[in-house]
Amino acid sequence: MSNRAIRRAAERAALKAAAKQEKTMAAAAGASTSPEPSSPNVDFAEEESRPLSNAQMAANKANAQKSHGPVTLKGRAKSSLNAIKTGLTGQTVLLPADDAIAYQAHLDRHFARYSPATDEEHTLVQMIADSEWRILRIPGLEASIYAIGRLKLADLHQDETDRTAREALIRGEVFLAYRRDLTNLALQERRLRNQHKSDLAKLEALQNDRKEYEKKNTKGAIQESMLKAFRIMDHYHQQNKKFVPEPHGFVFSVAEIAHCHQAFLHAQTNNQSEPCFADLLVAFRKAQTESQAA
């Protein structure tokens, strides 16, 4: 007996037991009159609003315990894949027939290409890779539909002697027979490509904002460090001592500090804004490299 039949039988038994209990209670109370027959014009809203008896509530609870779905690991795993048809929707990306090694290599290429630095960037790269994996699955699915249709409809249009014309006719028959499936594939591809484009735009915006923030912070750190180097260098010069940057934790050479210091003094003398030492260092190092190469 199916679960549904068991539930219905339990409900009927519970209703009979409740009715029997009510009759017994009425008889015990000395009820001498029988209830009036119910009118054919039943008020269903009133009927539905009546509270459930204890027996009915117990029966409902018992039925609910029986509707627990699969209990074994194998059954639950199978149930979790009930919605999978093409693998183009849902949470499952890797189908049982997919190559897990190829999928991992696909992911590795994306993470190497986009180099996510935050959790949000990591999630977007994963979504982008999964969208592409599903998009790449579509041509194979489309080819499979045409292959199945070609086998099933291969006997059509046998009166057509021109082989090319007959193949074209059969392809048309396959399309007409499987138009819904092919249209669904096209819709899923469009959805996936739109999602892929949107995720790429979000990732690009996030990474641009992060890099700009890091760039500003880096320039600010260089600016502060260079001003500190000026003060220490001046202190050494006042004591007629040689200034060595490395022991103080500076990554700048003496020549680089002197170059930036000269620009700093020039700006102060001419009431100009403080120069960007990071840009000065880039230009100075480039000039030094070109000079050495010459």
Specify the pLDDT at position 75.
Answer: 52
Among 176, 197, 213, the domain-final residue is 213
Q: How many domains does the chain have?
A: 2
Specify the pLDDT at position 79.
Answer: 46
Q: What is the DSSP letter of 34?
A: P
Among 213, 235, 253, the domain-final residue is 213
- Dump the DSSP string for 116-154: --SHHHHHHHHHHHHHHHHHHHHHHHHHHHHHHHHHHTT
Residues 199 and 227 in one domain: no
How far, in Å, are 137, 206, 212, 259, 291 from residue 281 at the CA level?
50, 28, 19, 8, 15
Nearest-angstrom CA–CA distance, 91 and 81: 10
Specify the pLDDT at position 87.
Answer: 52
- Dump the DSSP string for 265-278: HHHHHTTPPPP-HH
Residue given tokens 């460090």 in the structure block: 225
Helix (H, G, I), strand (E, B) or coil at 178: coil
Tokens at residue 49, please?
Answer: 């609003």
Specify the pLDDT at position 154.
Answer: 85
Is 15 within 8 Å of 60 (Cβ atoms)?
no
Residues 106 and 150 in one domain: yes
Would residue 41 count as lying in a domain? Answer: no
Would residue 63 count as lying in a domain? Answer: no
Residues 105 and 208 in one domain: yes
How far, in Å, are 46, 111, 126, 130, 145 from residue 192 at the CA level?
51, 19, 14, 10, 20
Residues 112 and 155 in one domain: yes
Among 196, 213, 230, the domain-final residue is 213
Would residue 89 count as lying in a domain? Answer: no
Global model pTM greater than 0.75: no
Q: What is the DSSP letter of 67?
A: -
Instruction: Note down the domain range covering 224.
Output: 218-293
pLDDT in tens, the chain (294 residues): 555 555 566 666 666 666 666 666 666 555 444 444 444 444 434 444 455 666 666 666 665 555 455 555 445 444 443 433 445 555 557 777 778 899 999 999 999 999 998 999 999 999 999 999 999 989 988 998 989 998 888 888 888 888 899 889 988 988 898 899 899 989 999 999 999 999 999 999 999 998 887 877 788 889 999 999 999 999 999 999 999 999 998 989 999 999 999 999 999 999 999 999 999 999 999 998 888 887
Residues 206 and 126 in one domain: yes
